[in-house]
Structure 1
Amino acid sequence: MTAAQGVLSGLRLVEAAAFVAAPLGGMTLAQMGADVIRIDPLEGGLDYRRWPVTEDNTSLFWCGLNKSKRSVALNLATEEGRELAMAIACAPGDDAGMFLTNFPARGWLDHEKLKARRPDLIQLTLQGDRHGGSAVDYTVNPRLGVPLFTGDPASDEPVNHVLPAWDLITGQMVAVGLLAAERHRRRTGEGQHIKLSLQDVGLAVMGHLGFIAEAQLGNPRERHGNELFGAFGRDFVCRDGVRVMVVGLTGKQWRSIAQATQLEVPLQQLGERLGLDLSEEGNRFRARAGIAQLVGEWMARLDFKDVATAFDRHGVCWTRYQSIAQLVNDDPECSPANPLFAKVDQPGVGEVLAPGIPLRFDARMRVPPAAAPKLGEHTEQVLAQLAGIDAAQFGRLHDRGIVR
């Protein structure tokens, strides 16, 4: 199976970016079949050695966020190198002329300069904040207040969780923005410069989820530890020490917990004592301490295998807590048994398990995951294809340190 079978086959995006959000946006398109060409300096970009790394300093981070792309390495400190980069970004073609960067839009990255070469150019520039300032997930999160309602309710210390949520959401927004602009260009012939900021994405999501309105109404979110806010859900420990998470958000989920634990009558009596109808999710949150005591006592009497059997029989929404090592070594969902994954031979790393795109399109088969390229692996190929550079010219550019 090749990229030609992807739903975005034929689309070309040129990317000059680093770290998470922008490269993730580009890779999202690449894993749906688009031809995504990443341009880096000869020595690699800012994220080329980003941790985690192998013993020989190959970045697993870089490999993970650049799968299925082509790599071009140019001496961008030279005028000639920058000219080649602009030629690649502005190369002709109805499905080309799309450019993504999260660097300041100046020099060869300046939209007006690129637009002069290709008037219908679509460029998306990702910024830290809407003013063009620097921001990353670890600075956006504190500004939004999230670390102050995450963690142990008994603690006043901020908890900056390690998952870069805003980067991940922004990466998907990058892909959506580029595809929306490409559709607009197909209808009107107009290119445009799209600007997107990491901080604005975070602010928007805080509004979408009700956090901002909640604070405006005088009830800013408080810490609730591992409890599900607004319904029933929390972690419990089985008799043999295995920890599980149980959720009763919907009515069906709540009834399945009561049935699996054989606590229908005690839970009904709890609701009557408290004057709460536990079929309503908000009331389950109000009664969470009493519910947790009943469910926790049931859990504490059983080993994990018996809890799992009862939960699965009744369709409870639950999962076991496990380490990343357990996920990789023992969980069939994180293996080639799941069509999302395949083993790829990653240069500099060896054979690794790699995910493709989670989307499944009925019209096209899923494009299997491909390794990230070696730095500069496709420089000669891309320059020949898009800039008309023949082998002799490429050799002279190489000898002068312009290309890798």
Structure 2
Amino acid sequence: MSLPLSGLRVIELGQLIAGPFASKILAEFGADVIKIEPPKTGDPLRTWRLLHEGTSVWWAAHARNKRSVTLDLRQPEGQEVIRKLAADADILIENFRPGAMEKWGLGFKDLHAINPKLIMLRVSGYGQSGPYRDRPGFGVIGEAMGGLRYLSGEPGRPPVRVGVSIGDTLSGLHGVIGVMMALRHREQQGGVGQEVDVALYESVFNMMESLLPEYSKFGVIRQPSGASMPGIVPTNAYLCKDGRYALIAGNGDSIYKRLMEAIGRTDLASDPNLANNVGRAANAEMIDAAISAYTEQHSLDDVLEKMNQAGVPAGKSYDAADIAHDPHYQARDMILDATLPDGSTVQVPGIVPKLSQTPGQITRPAPELGQHTAEVLTGLGIDAAQQAQWKERGII
């Protein structure tokens, strides 16, 4: 089966999360991704968090379907290899600090002169322009500048992180969107590529919903609110009898009515003052108290069953064990086995989104460092003797 991105070649110069997350998605749908890594050390993510046989188990998900080539981009020979690869590539992804690629003679203008069809995805903390352009930026800083960190956590307490590198992955997703639009433009405009400029903070800011409009119109600075969503009622985490929390979202008008009837509060269900969200938002504490009074008398499982019967969106807060053993995850192929270099397996997330005719695939496991260096360089006409010399000099 031909995948939707089959035939596209992607050169990945990024490290860690944002750029490589974008290329992971492209690879899952058929793109040939050549990942360039520093000799000896490789992508730092290879040694992040829990390791198996010296390599992060995260790597099995993050680098699947890619080919690994070791190359020192600081060396003229390494830069020349990138030019050779770019001459026949469709997409190049990089997430260095702005100016680094230009310093190496690998900026968009340089590579576009070699290959006018090339699309260059550039992911950075603050973008390729603006007064903050040259500042170093990681996802955590993008989350802070984008407004997410300020809203995360409990009122009056320090801001907390989401728990994953959400700023990086949001940037990777925006990068994929930009690349797909650039491919469409290239198709329509005679094969001309372009730059896709993705900033970490902008990717986060793009998800911040009413934050700016409310400040602009009313001078309101939205504040952290813990598990609730101020102005959208009811939606919260409610303590149950067994000490666990039920997440209940009854904020649609008809859903709210069904929720109140399910917990035996027909008085609140029929109250005309609570028939729409404006009225409910003005009485949020009373409504939350009524729901809590019910959940505190029942187990989490019983509460969720009651909500499901009533057609009210509800769920529990899943941990890793919940996810690994959930039948819906399994039925949707969202839990897959990946093979590690020693032959053992590890569970990794499945592929998103689901396409009905050309679903994404895992065609090769995450590569060992430099596993495909000889294969790729030979394809560029660089013979074994030259490769041996470069290896001795630390270029590959």
TM-score interval, smaller chain: 0.7 to 0.9
Other-structure match for 1:286: 282
Q: 2:321 aligns with which of 308, 325, 343?
A: 325
Relative to structure 1, is the Cα distance of residues 353 and 61 closer, same or farther in structure 2, using a 3 angstrom cutoff? closer
In structure 1, the residue matched to 2:369 is 375
Once residues 332 and 87 of structure 2 are traced to their aligned partners in structure 1, the CA distance between those partners, rounded to angstroms, is 39
Q: For residue 296 of structure 1, what is the aligned residue in structure 2?
A: 292
Match of 1:19 in 2: 16
Q: Conserved in 1, the CA contact under 8 Å of 2:175 and 2:196?
A: no
Structure 2 residue 363 is the aligned partner of structure 1 residue 354: no
Q: CA 1:280 to 1:195, structure 2 compared with 1: closer, same or farther past 3 Å? A: same
Provide the residue aligned with 1:74 in structure 2. 71
**Which sections of structure 2, spanning at least 5 residues, go unmatched?**
none
1:295, 1:61 → 2: CA distance?
39
TM-score, length-normalised on structure 1? 0.86
Tell me, in whole angstroms, the C-alpha distance in 1 between the residues paired with 2:170 and 2:382.
38
CA contact (8 A) 1:22 1:171 kept: yes
Per the TM alignment, residue 370 of structure 1 is displaced from its structure 2 partner at its CA by 4.6
Shift of 1:319: 0.6
Q: Deviations over 1:171-206 (max 9, x none)?
A: 111111112222222222222233221122233333
Inter-partner Cα distance in structure 1 for 2:141 and 2:361: 35
Q: Is the 8 A contact 1:50 1:61 kept in 2?
A: no
Distance in 2, Cα, partners of 1:149 & 1:364? 39
- Percent identity, aligned pairs only, is 27
**How many residue pairs end up in the alignment?**
384
Q: 1:232-291 CA distances to partner (integer Å, 9 max, x unpaired)?
A: 1111122222221111122343233123223223443xx46xxx2x22123222222111
Q: Is the 8 A contact 1:137 1:165 kept in 2?
A: yes
1:28 to 18, 25, 29: 25
* 1:221, distance to aligned residue in structure 2 (A): 0.9
1:247-262 alignment, distance < 5 Å: 247-262=249-264
The equivalent of 1:185 in structure 2 is 186
Per the alignment, do residues 302 and 10 of structure 1 end up closer, same or farther by CA in structure 2, a change over 3 Å counting? Answer: same
Q: Could you say if the C-alpha distance between residues 323 and 354 of structure 1 is closer, same or farther in structure 2, counting changes exceeding 3 Å? A: closer
The Cα of 1:391 is off from its aligned counterpart by 4.8
- Residue 345 of structure 1, aligned match among 339, 359, 363: 339
Distance in structure 2 (CA, Å) of the matches to 1:306 and 1:196: 45
Distance in 2 (CA, whole Å) between partners of 1:150 and 1:97 is 39
Note the alpha carbon deviations across 1:197-216, whole angstroms, 9 max, x for none: 1122233333xx12011112
For 1:43, what is the secondary structure of its paired residue?
Answer: coil
CA RMSD of aligned residues (A): 2.5
Q: Which moved more, 1:259-268 or 1:373-382?
A: 259-268
Question: Residues 112 and 306 from structure 1, CA distance in 2 versus in 1: closer, same or farther, beyond 3 angstroms?
Answer: closer
What is the letter of the counterpart of residue 327 of structure 2? P
Match of 2:358 among 360, 364, 381: 364
Superposed CA offset, 1:47-96 (max 9, x none): 244521315431234443222111111233432222122211222xxxx3
- Residues 129-278 of structure 1 aligned to structure 2 (within 5 Å): 129-130=126-127, 131=129, 132=133, 133-153=135-155, 155-188=156-189, 189-206=191-208, 209-216=209-216, 217-229=218-230, 230-268=232-270, 271=271, 276=273, 278=274
Residue 147 of structure 1 deviates from its aligned partner by: 3.1
- Structure 2 counterpart of 1:38: 35
Among 65, 84, 87, which residue is 1:87 paired with?
Answer: 84
Matched, 1:384 2:389: no
Q: Is the 8 A contact 2:8 2:90 kept in 1?
A: no
- The more displaced of 184-193 and 19-28 is 184-193
SS of match in other structure, 2:68: strand
| Secondary structure of residue in 2 paired with 1:282 | helix
